[in-house]
Chain A
Amino acid sequence: MSHSTTHVTEFDAKEAWSGGQSPFKISYGKMMMWFFLISDALTFGGLLISYGFIRHKFGDIWPKAEHVFTHFPFIKQHIPLAYVGFMTFVLIMSSVTMVLAVEAGHRMNRKGVIVWMFWTIIGGATFVGSQAWEWYNFIVGTDLFTSIKDCTDQGHIRTFFDHNIGETVTRHIHGANMVVNEYGVPQFANYFFFVTGFHGFHVFSGVVINFIIFLNVIKGTYEKRGHYEMVEKVGLYWHFVDLVWVFVFTFFYLL
């Protein structure tokens, strides 16, 4: 175990660039993870800004999230934003368990890393499952709990271009797809699918990567290596996923 407990923050520019050390005082792997995250953040930034553009364009007719996302499992009443609040809580919580795993790794505490990474994976899987459930409700429609017979009467009337028959049609619409949805402009569903889908895929990858590292921790790979920096690197990725969700949550659900 290492006894160098210092978090070096002093920076001498002349000395730093003279070679033989990292001017950033950081390992190659961690630095590259940061650079990757910056590029990924630019992708998400681009998506969210283009979402802002479209929303700005349809500002006065954009659907309100509190009218769309009102479902909660096992409860028939509509509670706006409650479930997405739960999802946010789960993801923030899993971010905390991840950072505690990283901290346990800094103390070379293998058991601590295993416990906290386990809960991180559980939290991530819960989040992905919740998002699947959100998508299901979004696609099926807001009157999920009424009988199917009623649904045809309660569908929202939409005029849209049907690509299958090649003409503009007017129909009762229930739920959402990429062409038309009951909530409002088609772009509302398109952006919801694309951005939450892209984020959800990041969460899914994060769970898979976390699981691989988790197996390595159990095997004792990092114990042998003398440091748990790999846990720290996947931790960076995991926090980034949480970071993106903070923005998605605000722009898709709150505003």
Chain B
Amino acid sequence: MEFHDNYPQYEIMSNHDEAHGKKSRRTLWNVFWVMLAITIFELIIGFLAPSKGWSGTLGLKTLFISLTIAKAAAIVWWFMHLGHEVKFFKYTILMPYIIFIVYTIFIVLTEGTYAGTSGHFTKVDPIFKKQQEALKSGHHGGGEAHEQSSAHEATEAH
């Protein structure tokens, strides 16, 4: 602890007095109420969605995902205090993550579109389609293909 050089003690730099504490407590509670309101709103929408026919619509997905990102941003910015760190640190934390995740979402959903079994938005890979037709007509050679077809049947049974 008693290591005397002039290196700044960042551990105590974020300490503050009562006046500052009062201000930051107010901010934190406000963030909490907003997050609670968003969650209740999401639940009401989620509760109403099946009867109103909103389930699975693009609008609903967009709404839920943007509200989620808003909540996540609030947690990172105020609760995790990233908003008060220096700019360079913010970028060091956020940028690599955002770039990587956005790219992964893009590439996995692109690939997922081709790996589908059916559905109006699914572009079925021609080779995959051929395999599926072969499986359906009964010319499958056991092993993995066999399991695949049984999994396929399981999904159709309900």
Contact = CB atoms under 8 A, between A and B. Distances in A.
Contact of A250 (B14, B64, B154): B64
Interface of A: 1-9, 11, 13, 16, 20-27, 29-31, 34, 38, 41-42, 45-46, 49-50, 52-54, 56-61, 64-66, 80-82, 85, 88-89, 92-93, 95-96, 98-100, 102-104, 106-108, 156-161, 168, 170, 180, 184-186, 225-227, 229, 232, 235-236, 239-240, 242-243, 246-247, 249-250, 253-255
Contact of B86 (A24, A52, A53, A186): A24
B104 A49 contact: yes
A59 B116 contact: yes
B87 A56 contact: no
Given A106-B15, A161-B151, A21 B7 contact: yes
B29 A53 contact: no
Contacts of A157: 157-158
Interface in B1-31: 1, 6-18, 20-21, 24-25, 28-29
- A-B complex: 3 closest residue pairs judged by Cβ atoms: A56-B112, A27-B10, A24-B89
B134 interface: no
Contact of A26 (B79, B89, B108): B89
B28 A100 contact: yes
Interface of B: 1, 6-18, 20-21, 24-25, 28-29, 32, 35-36, 39-40, 42-43, 46-47, 49-50, 55, 60-61, 64-65, 67-68, 71-72, 75-76, 78-81, 84-89, 92-93, 96-97, 100-101, 104-105, 108-109, 111-113, 115-119, 121-122, 146-147, 150-151, 153-158
Per DSSP, are chain B's interface residues mostly helix, strand or loop, or mixed?
A: helix
Contact of A60 (B49, B100, B119): B119
29 contacts: A2-B13, A4-B15, A5-B17, A11-B87, A13-B88, A21-B7, A24-B85, A24-B88, A25-B8, A38-B97, A49-B108, A50-B108, A58-B116, A59-B121, A60-B118, A61-B156, A64-B55, A66-B47, A85-B43, A100-B25, A106-B16, A107-B21, A108-B15, A158-B154, A159-B150, A168-B146, A168-B150, A255-B64, A255-B65
A238 to B, nearest CB: 9
A247 B72 contact: yes
Given A5-B16, A158-B154, A158-B157, A247 B68 contact: yes
A170 to B, nearest CB: 8
Nearest to A9: B86
Contacts of B68: 246-247, 249-250
Contacts of A16: 88
A226 B12 contact: yes
B7 A20 contact: yes
A9 B84 contact: yes
A6 B13 CA distance: 7
B16, B28, B109 interface centre (most CB from chain A within 10 Å): B16
Contacts of B43: 81-82, 85
Contacts of B28: 96, 99-100, 103
Given A11-B88, A81-B47, A227 B11 contact: yes
Given A42-B101, A82-B43, A246-B68, 8 more contacts: A20-B6, A21-B7, A22-B10, A29-B11, A53-B111, A95-B79, A247-B68, A253-B46
